[in-house]
């Protein structure tokens, strides 16, 4: 399937540091999305980036997309303890933009 893969699986940093997590996928896409999940909760949408976009910003979040490498990265700048969560990327199938597949996520721990 198209399921994306996040890397690393787990990341532990100090408050104030930047956190970078990556997502790789297999086939062409129409868009890629990033989500956050706090423990025991539902997912919250962070950013959607379209296949013709290379970079997108939202507050302390920066997402890049490299369609030639079939990869994306999510950068969280100046991390806070409240950013502690799991982060997932989701991709469609390109020819079917109605089906979104999620990776297994990166678990981020921001230590105060």
Partner 1 sequence: NAGVTQTPKFQVLKTGQSMTLQCAQDMNHEYMSWYRQDPGMGLRLIHYSVGAGITDQGEVPNGYNVSRSTTEDFPLRLLSAAPSQTSVYFCASRRANYGYTFGSGTRLTVV
Which residues contact partner 1 by CB under 8 A?
A: 1, 3, 31, 33, 35, 41-48, 50, 88, 90, 98-105
Report in angstroms the alpha-carbon separations of 85 from 30, 38, 92.
Answer: 26, 5, 23
In total, the chain counts a number of residues equal to 112
Task: Please enumerate in sequence order all residues whose Cβ is within 8 A of that of 64, keeping only pairs 6 or more positions apart, or say none.
Answer: 54, 55, 72, 73, 75
Residue 83 vs 105, nearer CB to partner 1? 105
CB of 59 to partner 1, least distance (A): 15
CB of 107 to partner 1, least distance (A): 9
Report the C-alpha gap between 20 and 28 in whole angstroms: 23
CB of 62 to partner 1, least distance (A): 17
Residue 3 vs 18, nearer CB to partner 1? 3
Residue 5 vs 15, nearer CB to partner 1? 5
Residue 18 vs 58, nearer CB to partner 1? 58
CB of 6 to partner 1, least distance (A): 8
């Amino acid at each position: 399937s198209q399921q994306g893969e996040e890397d690393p699986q787990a990341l532990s940093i100090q408050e104030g540091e930047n956190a970078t997590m990556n997502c790789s996928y297999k086939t062409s896409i129409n868009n890629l999305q990033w989500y956050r999940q706090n423990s025991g909760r539902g997912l919250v949408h962070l950013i959607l980036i379209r296949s013709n976009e290379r970079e997108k910003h939202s507050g302390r979040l920066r997402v890049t997309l490299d369609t030639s490498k079939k990869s994306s990265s999510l950068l969280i700048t100046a991390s806070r303890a409240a950013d502690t969560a799991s982060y997932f990327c989701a991709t469609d199938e390109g020819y079917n933009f109605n089906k979104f597949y999620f990776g297994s996520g990166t678990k981020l721990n921001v230590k105060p």
